Amino acid sequence: MAILPILCFPDPRLHKVAQPVTVVDERIQALVADMLATMYDAQGIGLAATQVDAHERVVVIDVSEERDQPMTLINPEILWASEDKQVGDEGCLSVPGIYDGVERSTSVRIRALDEKGQSREIEAEGLLAICIQHEMDHLMGKVFVEYLSPLKRNRIKTKLLKQQKQDR
């Protein structure tokens, strides 16, 4: 397992739309293992393949307190989302140190393949539902800051670009 570099906003590669996975093979399973290692190393609760510059519909999530319940979602699709919505502070490994309010459905039902290629349906609410929606946005080339006002988004972009120059 390798720790993969995570793309940081405003990297244009974060806006690429991920392609469906046609077969869950050893290559995809290795990507999943690397993504989980990367997510745990970065202390995140979710990671989309887009964030590690692999533009395929693969997401890993672990919202458990003990960090021992990894979930793999390959080609996830939302079957149902509650009309009930809630604004919650979100952060993102691709937007380090930034947290802001985003409105999301409080519960969702999705269908996805797991790391073995088995289809499953998952009903999620609370943090898991929010995390699923957040990561699925990445697969569509959308970063959570795009829900914010243009002014906030530009401030975040300027701050992160300045940070990236200092880190070089």
Q: Which CATH number goes with the domain that contains 101? A: 3.90.45.10
**pLDDT band at residue 29 using 50, 70 and 90 as cut-offs:** very high
Q: Is 8 annotated as a binding residue?
A: no
- Residues with a catalytic annotation lie at 135
Region 17-44 average pLDDT: 98
pLDDT of residue 168 exceeding 90, the answer is no
The reply to whether 134 falls in a domain is: yes
Does the residue 24 lie in any domain?
yes
Establish if 7 belongs to a structural domain: no
Q: Tens of pLDDT along 54-101?
A: 999 999 999 999 999 999 999 999 999 999 999 999 999 999 999 999
Is 92 a known ligand-binding residue?
A: yes
The rounded mean pLDDT for the chain is: 97
Total number of domains constituting the chain: 1
Known binding residue 134? Answer is yes
Identify whether the C-beta of residue 97 lies closer than 8 Å to the C-beta of residue 89.
no
